[in-house]
Chain A
Amino acid sequence: MSSKPLVIVGTGLAGYNLAREWRKLDSSTPLLLISADDGRSYSKPMLSTGFAKNKQADELVMADVGAMAEQLNAEIRTHTPVTRIEPDAKRLWLGAEAIDYRDLVLALGADPIALDIPGDAADHVYAINDLEDYARFRAAIDGKQRVLLMGAGLIGCEFANDLTSGGLQVSVVAPCDQVMPGLIQPQAAEAVQHALQALGVAFHLGPVVSRLSRDGAALRAELSDGTVLACDAVVSAVGLRPRTQLAAAAGLTLGRGIAVDRQLQSSAAHIYALGDCAEVAGLNLQYVMPLMSCARALAKTLAGEPTAVSYGPMPVVVKTPACPLVVSPPPAGSAGQWSVEGEAPDLRILCKDASGALLGFNLTGGCVSERMALNKSLPAVLA
């Protein structure tokens, strides 16, 4: 009788990278990956640089599902939703089919937040959160020009830069007074916004889209400040919400995500979570670097060596080539003083505590090359 498998639900960066790290340590335990999509391996960060590089969705694929199954010595079930988990029985259900697991890892990702916009054109609103979304949007915008982009956060700015570089005409609409509010300082935001404007992006910061309707072959967007914009498609980049429904139904503890400790262990024995769906020791960080740290730690734990994850300094590289930006937010709750040096677009904006120790930074333009030197002085995110 063969032993029960490690089951990983999700084949995004979290699922596949965990599988890869774990297989380095355990080459014999059966591995089953279950995906709601087609299981092709691709890198999500590439979704916001694909238009400038003129990449079709298929060109972003790094390995198809067959190659992944072989590389990982795994069974991979595609287009297969997990319908239920029974933590006490260590069993999950795919519709009527039951699977017993040795350990279960939830690498489910996050869902785009969908705004409810009045009007008759909601089906022309695209969120680009996975490869299939990217393919759908590329098909929808083919031969068209004008994109209304809702959201001016990190992903919104990356898309604004990328779509414009790819030849599209982009208008950004967001209810905030600067780009990337809450993430970067106003001076850095101004530098990025200015560079994106110079590239051709139009900004409508303050209002929201209050109505979206069909207008012949195009769309008519009414903004809450009375402005009316004509466009061909709408991209929504207003944020992601961790996928927690399955865990919630199984009775697992939730925070902002599936709550797990530093060993990525949920409130139920033998169930772990990582990536965008997880809140790790109170932190839900939807970036690649923490995900990779979690994948390495969890791989060891699942191979029999219990390992707590730690995060060092983790600056975020924002892919706005019009004005490069690297951000290391100060730790939540820390009291620091910001200072601005340099001249736009080359800014060195540092946050220091009373003793002069570096807590965080925003670097723009030519100053981004200083990040490696500054990293050495940064505090760890999760020591």
Chain B
Amino acid sequence: MSKWQCVVCGLIYDEAQGWPEDGIAAGTKWQDVPEDWVCPDCGVGKADFEMIEIA
């Protein structure tokens, strides 16, 4: 499981948690998140997320 961070606003998508509010189940890999999913904090798309190291 990896974490991805929005380079625009810093929001973190954690694959282990998914994003249940948008119907993305816990454990959903980043590659399987729908292409049109947008950052809930700042509204940018998947292309503006980058992988970050897990602490």
Contact partner of B9 (CB less than 8 A), chosen from A43, A315, A369, is: A43
B22 at the interface (CB under 8 A from A): yes
B9 & A289 in contact (Cβ 8 Å cutoff) = no
Q: Which chain B residues border A49 with CB–CB below 8 Å? A: 41
A45 & B23 in contact (Cβ 8 Å cutoff) = no
| Distance, CA A368 to CA B22, complexed state (A) | 8
B27 at the interface (CB under 8 A from A): no
B10 & A289 in contact (Cβ 8 Å cutoff) = no
Chain A contact patch, size range:
20 to 34
| Distance, CA A45 to CA B9, complexed state (A) | 7
Residue in B closest to A316 when the chains form the complex, CB atoms: B43
- Mark out the residues of chain B between 1 and 55 whose CB falls within 8 Å of any chain A CB in the assembled complex: 7-10, 21-23, 34, 36-38, 40-44, 48
| Distance, CA A128 to CA B28, complexed state (A) | 37
Q: Which chain B residues border A375 with CB–CB below 8 Å? A: 36
| Distance, CA A324 to CA B44, complexed state (A) | 18
| Distance, CA A62 to CA B23, complexed state (A) | 29
What string of 1s and 0s marks CB contacts (under 8 Å) between A301-329 and chain B? 00000000000001111010000100000
- Mark out the residues of chain A between 321 and 373 whose CB falls within 8 Å of any chain B CB in the assembled complex: 324, 368-369, 372
Given the known interface contacts A49-B41, A369-B22, the answer about A43 and B8 at a Cβ–Cβ threshold of 8 Å is: yes
| Distance, CA A288 to CA B44, complexed state (A) | 7
> Can you give 7 A-B contacts (C-beta < 8 A)?
A43-B10, A288-B43, A292-B8, A292-B48, A315-B43, A317-B41, A369-B21
